[in-house]
Amino acid sequence: MTKDILFCLSGLDAAQFIERAAPHIPLDRRLVLLYVVDTRPAEELGYISRRMHGGGGVSSQHAALMETAEQQTAEAVLNEAGEKCMQLGFNPQHIRREIRKGRPEQQIVALAHDPAQDIGLVVIGSSYKRAPNITPGPASVGHVARFVVDHSSCDVLLLR
Amino acid sequence: MAVVQLITTGHWSLVTAHRSLNAAMLLLGSIIFIATLVLVVVHPRRVPEWLAALGGGAAMLLLGIVTFAQAAHVLWDNLNVFGFFLGLMTISVLAESAGFFDALARLAARFSGNSSRRLFLNVMLIGTLITVFLTNDATALILTPLVYALVVRLRLEPLPFMFATTFIADTASFVLPVSNPINVLVLTAFPHDLWDYLRHLLLPAVLVIAGNIIIFLWIFRADLRRPFDPSLVDSAPGAAVPVHGRWFRYTVISLGIIALAYVLASAFRWPLSFVALGGALLLLVGYLLTLRVQWAGEGSRAGRALARMLGTGISWPIFGFIAGMLLLVQGVENLGITAAFGHWLIALSGGTTWGAVPTSVVGAAVGSNAINNVPMALVMTSAIRASTPVGGLSDVFVYGTIVGADLGPNITTVGSLATMLWLLILRRRGLDVSPLAYFRLGIVVTPVLLLLAIVALWLTSL
C-alpha cells in the first residue's frame, strides 16, 4: 500500500504550486491538501487591543469577521488546488481537503506524524515571503519549510 | 517658668505627633499608590484594572488623604475627559455600524492597483486620518481587525499590516488634541489653544509619522514584494454588518462636521467633550431616523439594536478606571509626592528647554510602559502643576508629556509591562503564546521615533 502525499498550501497561487509539484507525483496516489490558518497574527491583535483605553480584547463581532475571512480564504485556496489536481488527472476520490488552525509548521509536522493519516511525503514551498522569485542562497528557505525539513520523519519535497 | 516649660513641652509633643501622623500618612499613601499600580500591572486573580483603580481611590478617601469635597471637585473638573470618552466611543461604534471603517479599508485596496507596498502605504495613511480625528483607539481597535480580514482575503501576510495600523495609531496620536484621550486628559489640566498646540507639536507629529512609514516600508520590504489580485477586493463580503446606503452617507457627512467642529473647538478652547457628545447625538439621531425608516413596522427594533451595540461597543470600565486614577493621583499630590517628583524632573532637566524636552518625553514614555499611560500622564500632570516650573518650561513639560505618553506605549507595544508580565506568566504555565514579534519591533523602532520627536520638539520650543 503506497502512502499519501501531503501538499502544504499557503495563500500563494495554489494552482501553480500543484502544477509544479505534479510531475514528481504518480497520478494514482492519494492526496491530502492542507491549509493552515496561522493564528499568530490574531493572537497578537488580542494582546494589542488589551492595552488600548477601550480595549478588552478583540470584540466578538470582529473575531467573527476575521474568522470568516480566514475560513473563506482557506476554502478558496483548497478549491483552486483541488480543481488543478483534477485537471492534471488525479482521481477526485483520492483528494482530501484539510483546514487546520495554529502554527503552520507545527500543524504540518503533527499531521505528517499522525499514524491515522499515513503520510509518506510532504510537499512544501521553500519560502512564502520570497516566492515566487526565489534565488538560491542563504535564507532562501523560510522558517516554516525549515521547521518541516528539520522535524518531519517522512520525506520532504521542497519546491523552489 | 514651669508653665512656659509645660506649654513648650506640650507644643513640642503636638508638633511631634503631627509629624508622626504626616509620616504615617505619607507611608500609607505611598503603599496604596504602589499597591494599586501593582494590581493594575499584574492584575492577580484577574482583578480588573478599573476595580483596582477605584479601590486605590477609595482608600485615599477613607484615610482622609483626599477629602470628599476635593474628590467631587477633581471629578467635576475632569467631566470634560469623561464626556470626551463617552462621545468618542459612541461615535466610533456608530461609524462602524455604518460601514465607514470597512469602506476606508476597501478604498485603500482599490487605490493600490495590485501592489501590496502601495496598499501598505494607503493603510498607514488611512490609519493616520482615523487617528487624527477619531483617536488611536478607533484605529487600533476597529480598523485593525478590518484590515486583517481584508489582507487575509487578498492572501497577503497580515502581520506587517497589523503592525502598520497599531503603530500608526500611537505615532499619529498627537497631531491634534483630539487624536488621543491622553491629550485631552493633559490639556484639561493645562488648557492651550490650538495654534500654540500646533506650533509645538505639528512638526514633531509630521516627522514621526513620516519616519514611521519610511522605517516600516524598509523593514517589511520583503513581505511587500508580492502583488495581489485586485478582483479579490470586490469578491469579499467583508463588511461587519449589512450596510445601509442612506445611513452610510449620513455618517460620512456627520463625521466631516464633527472633524471640523473638533478643530474649531480646539481653536476656541471650547470643551472637546461638547463636540464629542454633540457628534454622538448627531449620529444617534441619524441612526434612529434612517434605520427606523428601513425597519418601519418592526416596532423598536432599531432602538434595541442600538442599545445592544452601545452596551457592548462602549468600554464602560474605562470611566471607573479614570475616576479611580484621578483620586489616587490627587492623593499622592496631597502628600507632596508628585511635587517632589516634579522638582526632581526640573532638577534633572537643568531648568532649561534643552533638558526639559528629553526629560519629559523619555520620562513619560518609560513610565507609560512601566505602568500605563493614563496614570503616568496624570502623575506627570500633577508633578508639573505642583512643582510650577517657571517661564515657558511648563509648556515644554506639558507637550513633552503628551509626546511621551502617546508615543511611548509602542516601546513594549503589547501594552506596557502589564501585558509583558501576563505573557511571561502564560509561558511559564506552558501555554503556547505569541513569539512577541510586536515587542521586538517596538523596542527597536520606538526609541528612533522618540528621538525624532525630541529633536523636533527642541526646534519648536526654542
R_g of chain B computed on alpha carbons: 24
Subunit contact A45:B144, Cβ cutoff 8 A = yes
3-class DSSP assignment, residue A56: coil
Write down the pLDDT at residue B419.
Answer: 47
3-class DSSP assignment, residue B253: helix
Minimum-distance CB partner of A40 among B146, B223, B435: B435
Instruction: Give A-chain residues touching B149 at CB under 8 angstroms.
Output: 65-66, 68-69
Minimum-distance CB partner of B145 among A43, A66, A73: A66
Write down the pLDDT at residue B417.
Answer: 43
- State how far Cα B90 lies from the chain centre: 16
- Residues of chain B short of pLDDT 70, as ranges, are 1-19, 21, 234-243, 292-302, 389, 391, 412-438
A137 CB burial (10 A radius; 0-12, 13-18, 19+):
exposed
- State how far Cα A131 lies from the chain centre: 14
Q: Tens digits of per-residue pLDDT, A98-145?
A: 999 988 899 999 999 988 888 999 999 887 666 666 677 777 788 889
User: Which of left, alpha, beta for A159 (phi over 0: left; psi -120 to 50: alpha)?
Assistant: beta
**Closest Cα in chain B, distance from residue A87 (Å):** 22
Nearest to B230 by CA among B307, B348, B118, B139: B118
The cell for A67 is 474568522
Percentage of residues of chain A with pLDDT beyond 90: 36
Q: Tens digits of per-residue pLDDT, A7-44?
A: 999 877 788 889 989 999 999 899 999 999 988 777 77
End-to-end CA distance of chain B: 63
> Which of B148, B182, B183 to mutate: most A Cβ within 10 Å?
B148
**Closest Cα in chain B, distance from residue A10 (Å):** 8
A62 or B27, which is more confident?
B27
Instruction: Give B-chain residues touching A55 at CB under 8 angstroms.
Output: 137, 140-141, 315
Amino acid B59 reads: A
Q: Tens digits of per-residue pLDDT, B395-421?
A: 999 999 999 999 988 876 554 444 444
Subunit contact A44:B89, Cβ cutoff 8 A = no
- The CA–CA distances, whole Å, from A16 to A12, A13, B392 equal 9, 5, 65
DSSP class of residue B388 equals: -
Greatest alpha-carbon pair distance for chain B in Å reads 102
B58 CB burial (10 A radius; 0-12, 13-18, 19+):
middle
3-class DSSP assignment, residue A106: helix
Write out the H or E segment, with its range, that includes residue B24. Answer: helix B2-42
The cell for A133 is 522569485
Q: Tens digits of per-residue pLDDT, B115-131?
A: 999 999 999 999 999 99
- A62, closest residue in chain B (CA to CA): B145
Write down the pLDDT at residue B429.
Answer: 45
Amino acid A30 reads: R
Instruction: Give B-chain residues touching A73 at CB under 8 angstroms.
Output: 152-153, 155
Write down the pLDDT at residue B83.
Answer: 94
Task: Give the separation between CA B217 and CA B211, rounded to whole angstroms.
Answer: 10
Instruction: Give A-chain residues touching B148 at CB under 8 angstroms.
Output: 41-42, 45, 66, 69
Residue A110 at interface with chain B, using a CB cutoff of 8 Å: no
Q: Tens digits of per-residue pLDDT, A66-99?
A: 888 888 899 999 999 999 999 999 999 999 999 9
